Amino acid sequence: MPFIRSLCIASLFSVSATPVLAATYGPELQGFQYPYPLQHFTFQSQGKSLQMGYMDVPATGTANGRSVVLMHGKNFCGATWEGSIKALSSAGYRVIAPDQIGFCTSSKPDHYQYSFQQLATNTHQLLEKLGIQKATVIGHSTGGMLATRYALMYPEQTEQLGLVNPIGLEDWKALGVPYQSVDQWYQRELKMSAEGVRKYERDTYYVGRWKPEYERWVDMLVGLNKGPGHLQVAWNSALIYDMIFTQPVYYEFKDLKVPTLLLIGTSDTTAIGKDVAPPEVKARIGNYQVLGKQVAKLIPHATLVQFPGLGHAPQMEEPEQFHKALLQGMNAH
């Protein structure tokens, strides 16, 4: 039976200020400042020369010889792991934080067959190039689905799996969420606004609360989507949403062979397509209070750490308490 542990989290204060988006960024997020030096990995995939942006941060504390790969979510980037990179590096880990193809500082090809297998393969090639033979792989949100796929494909190269409020803890299409075509997702992405992103993230990710430091990430996401490459960015984003909806990892949690740390903010309500779901479907999806416990029972070697009252991004809401729990979980392995 997985071990379940609850952590008491202090409440946050809401912030009503809503600054107006001022910046736009290039199609590979040119102009947005990353917290650590950005490097690029060029490789061939599906007949194209592509590049992945990534940060490779050495241990600043006493090096322990271990490496950690951080996989970002759909509305996030490698940069949003800033606090986690600092905490892990200070604890002695080498930290790799890539941007996946289609996201942030990486290529956004005209035509690409998106699959979690393909993104995992791309990441594995990056790690081979960096000489990393084994790593702890931590995924947040959509990155949790990718990290799960990576661990299923490369169990020998995965020392430990960490899932931070991953999406995909349920199969939305099987539960009755209507399918949306790539064209429909594309039209939605073209309409992105700072106000809309802020409201969605506040209501869904942060349990109705807002902190001024979240504005930087709204600026990053909307600035990319409103920049000179906005059509290409929106199209790739639509393809990625289709991948997320149609390629569940839920049925393979039982097949994971690596020790898995589930870090769950229990008040998260994220579910793809929730806004277009019938009321009776909407009412029963995205319940992380329940989903975390259910999936912890499906994964053979799972440890569940719950953050009561926190939402989709506990590493950003309460970083000190989150990183304490993360490092404890990694050291327990």
Supply the CATH number for residue 123's domain.
3.40.50.1820
Asked whether residue 173 is assigned to any structural domain, the reply reads yes
Phi and psi torsions of 85, nearest 5°: -60, -45
The DSSP call for residue 276 is G
Asked whether residue 307 is assigned to any structural domain, the reply reads yes
Residue 133, Cβ density class (10 Å: 0-12 exposed, 13-18 middle, ≥19 buried): exposed
Asked whether residue 23 is assigned to any structural domain, the reply reads no
**Residues contacting 247, CB < 8 A, separation 6+:** 115, 116, 145
Q: Which pLDDT score, from 0 to 100, does residue 23 have?
A: 86
Q: Which pLDDT score, from 0 to 100, does residue 10 have?
A: 32
E strands, 65-169, are: 67-71, 94-98, 135-140, 158-164
Q: What is the mean pLDDT of the chain?
A: 93
Strand partners, 5: 305
Number of domains making up the chain: 1
Asked whether residue 194 is assigned to any structural domain, the reply reads no
For residue 265, pLDDT over 80 is answered with yes
Mean pLDDT of all residues in 207-213: 94
Please state at what angle helix 182-190 crosses helix 230-246, rounded to 10 degrees: 140
Q: Within 13 A of 262's CA, how many CA atoms are on the CB side?
A: 32
CA-based nearest residue to 1, from 249, 293, 330: 293
For residue 59, pLDDT over 90 is answered with yes
For residue 15, pLDDT over 50 is answered with no
Q: Which pLDDT score, from 0 to 100, does residue 22 have?
A: 58
Asked whether residue 219 is assigned to any structural domain, the reply reads no
CA-based nearest residue to 187, from 223, 237, 142, 240: 237
For residue 72, pLDDT over 80 is answered with yes
Domain limits for position 138 = 3-15+34-178+250-332
Strand partners, 42: 51
Contact (Cβ atoms closer than 8 angstroms) between residue 54 and residue 39: yes
| % the chain with pLDDT above 70 | 93
Q: Give CA–CA dist 322/164, Å, rounded.
A: 10
Mean pLDDT of all residues in 120-130: 98
Asked whether residue 237 is assigned to any structural domain, the reply reads no
Contact (Cβ atoms closer than 8 angstroms) between residue 207 and residue 310: yes
Radius of gyration of the chain (CA): 18
For residue 2, pLDDT over 60 is answered with no
Strand partners, 304: 4, 262
Mean pLDDT of all residues in 161-186: 97
Asked whether residue 78 is assigned to any structural domain, the reply reads yes
Asked whether residue 89 is assigned to any structural domain, the reply reads yes
Q: Give CA–CA dist 237/243, Å, rounded.
A: 10
